[in-house]
Structure 1
Amino acid sequence: MENKQIDLTDITGMVCKALEVEDIAGMSPALRRIMEVDDQKAITALREALPDLGTDWLQKVWQYNFAKRGQMGQDYTPNSLGDLLAELVGETGTCLDLCAGSGSLTIRHHLHYPSTRYVCVELDSEVIPVLTVNLAMRGIDAVIVNGDAISGQPPKETWTVCKGHITRGGEPFRCDGTIGNPPYNVRWNQPDLAPMWPQYAGYDLPPENNANMAFVLTGISEADRAAFILPNGVLSSDKAEGKIRRQLVDNNLVEAAISCPERMFESTSIPVCVLLLAKNRQTRGIALIDAGNRCVSETREQRGQHGSKSHTNRVYHKEINVFTDSNIAETVREIRQDADTDTVRHITPEELDGDCNLTPKRYLTQPMDGTKPHRPFAEIVEDINRTAERRNGLLLTVNATTARMLGVDEVKKMQDEGNAICDQMEAAMNSIEGMEPVKLTRGEYIRFSKNKNEVRFENNSKERVSDVLLLIMSGWKQNIYICNNDENRYLAELRDALLPELMSGNLKIKGETNG
Structure 2
Amino acid sequence: MAAEQKQKLEQQLWNIANTLRGKMDADDFRDYILGFIFYKYLSTKMDLYANTILQPDGLTFSQVEGHPDEALLLEELKQLAIDKLGFFLEPSELFSELARRGNAGGKNNFILGDLAKVLTHIEQSTMGYESEEDFGNLFSDLDLTSHKLGKSENDKNELIVKVLTHLDEIDFDLENTDSDVLGDAYEYLIGQFASGAGKKAGEFYTPQQVSSVLAQLVTVGKDKLKSVYDPTCGSGSLLLRVAKEVKDVSEFYGQEMNPTTYNLCRMNMIMHDVHYKRFDIKNEDTLERPQHIDQRFEAIVANPPFSANWSASPLFMTDERFSAYGKLAPSSKADFAFVQHMVHQLDDNGTMAIVLPHGVLFRGGAEGHIRKYLIEDKNYLDAVIGLPANIFYGTSIPTCILVLKKTRQNPDDVLFIDASQHFDKVKTQNVLLEEHIAKIITTYKNRTPEDKYSHIANLTMIAENDYNLNIPRYVDTFEAEARIDINAIALEIKTLDQQIATTDKTIADFCAELNIVTPF
Where on the TM-score scale, by shorter chain, does this alignment land: which range?
0.5 to 0.7
Corresponding residue for residue 320 of structure 2: 198
1:247 and 2:373 aligned: yes
1:121 and 2:244 aligned: no
Q: 1 CA distance for matches of 2:294 and 2:259?
A: 17
1:78 and 2:187 aligned: no
Alignment of 1:113-192 (within 5 A): 113-116=246-249, 117-140=251-274, 141-152=278-289, 173-191=295-313
Please say if residues 119 and 173 of structure 1, whose CA atoms lie closer than 8 Å, have aligned partners that are also in contact.
no
1:236 and 2:362 aligned: yes
Closer, same or farther: CA 88–218 of 1 in aligned 2, 3 Å: same
Corresponding residue for residue 336 of structure 2: 213
Deviation at 1:28, TM superposition (A): 3.2
Q: 1:258 aligns with which of 385, 402, 411?
A: 385
Q: 2 CA distance for matches of 1:8 and 1:270?
A: 30
Q: 1 CA distance for matches of 2:408 and 2:18?
A: 49
CA RMSD of aligned residues (A): 4.0
Corresponding residue for residue 44 of structure 2: 41
Please say if residues 199 and 393 of structure 2, whose CA atoms lie closer than 8 Å, have aligned partners that are also in contact.
no
Deviation at 1:201, TM superposition (A): 2.2
Identity %: 24
Q: For structure 1, which runs of at least 5 residues remain unmatched after alignment?
A: 156-170, 300-316, 372-515
Q: 2 CA distance for matches of 1:200 and 1:42?
A: 45
Q: 1 CA distance for matches of 2:184 and 2:41?
A: 22
Corresponding residue for residue 430 of structure 2: 320
Q: 2 CA distance for matches of 1:231 and 1:14?
A: 37
1:269 and 2:379 aligned: no
1:77-134 deviation per Cα after TM superposition (whole angstroms, max 9, x unaligned) = 1111111111110043211012111111112111112511210111101111211111
Deviation at 1:67, TM superposition (A): 7.5
Deviation at 1:318, TM superposition (A): 3.5
1:112 and 2:245 aligned: yes
Q: 2 CA distance for matches of 1:12 and 1:133?
A: 18
1:251-291 deviation per Cα after TM superposition (whole angstroms, max 9, x unaligned) = 11100000011221243322111110000224221001101
Deviation at 1:181, TM superposition (A): 0.1
Q: For structure 2, which runs of at least 5 residues remain unmatched after alignment?
A: 47-94, 96-166, 174-179, 483-520
Q: 2 CA distance for matches of 1:349 and 1:190?
A: 30
Q: 1 CA distance for matches of 2:171 and 2:317?
A: 45
Q: 2 CA distance for matches of 1:319 and 1:113?
A: 29
1:360 and 2:471 aligned: yes
Deviation at 1:178, TM superposition (A): 0.4
SS of 1:334's equivalent in the other structure is helix
Shifted more, 226-235 versus 25-34: the winner is 25-34
Deviation at 1:76, TM superposition (A): 2.5
Q: 1 CA distance for matches of 2:268 and 2:294?
A: 19
SS of 2:273's equivalent in the other structure is coil
Q: 2 CA distance for matches of 1:367 and 1:295?
A: 18
Q: Give 1:78's aligned amino acid.
A: P
Q: Give 1:177's aligned amino acid.
A: A
1:351 and 2:461 aligned: yes
SS of 1:202's equivalent in the other structure is helix
Q: Give 2:44's aligned amino acid.
A: K
1:285-311 deviation per Cα after TM superposition (whole angstroms, max 9, x unaligned) = 1001101122333x3xxxxxxxxxxxx
Q: 2 CA distance for matches of 1:23 and 1:339?
A: 48
SS of 1:152's equivalent in the other structure is coil
Per the normalisation by structure 2, the TM-score is 0.55
Shifted more, 267-276 versus 46-55: the winner is 46-55
Please say if residues 235 and 358 of structure 1, whose CA atoms lie closer than 8 Å, have aligned partners that are also in contact.
yes
1:330 and 2:330 aligned: no
Q: 1 CA distance for matches of 2:461 and 2:397?
A: 29
Q: 2 CA distance for matches of 1:48 and 1:33?
A: 13
Q: 1 CA distance for matches of 2:171 and 2:457?
A: 47
Corresponding residue for residue 191 of structure 2: 60
Larger % of strand: which? 1
Q: Give 1:296's aligned amino acid.
A: D
1:315-335 deviation per Cα after TM superposition (whole angstroms, max 9, x unaligned) = xx43432141x4333323323
Please say if residues 47 and 137 of structure 1, whose CA atoms lie closer than 8 Å, have aligned partners that are also in contact.
no
SS of 1:93's equivalent in the other structure is strand
Per the normalisation by structure 1, the TM-score is 0.56
Q: 2 CA distance for matches of 1:32 and 1:52?
A: 14
Alignment of 1:80-95 (within 5 A): 80-90=209-219, 91=222, 92-95=225-228
Q: Give 1:236's aligned amino acid.
A: F
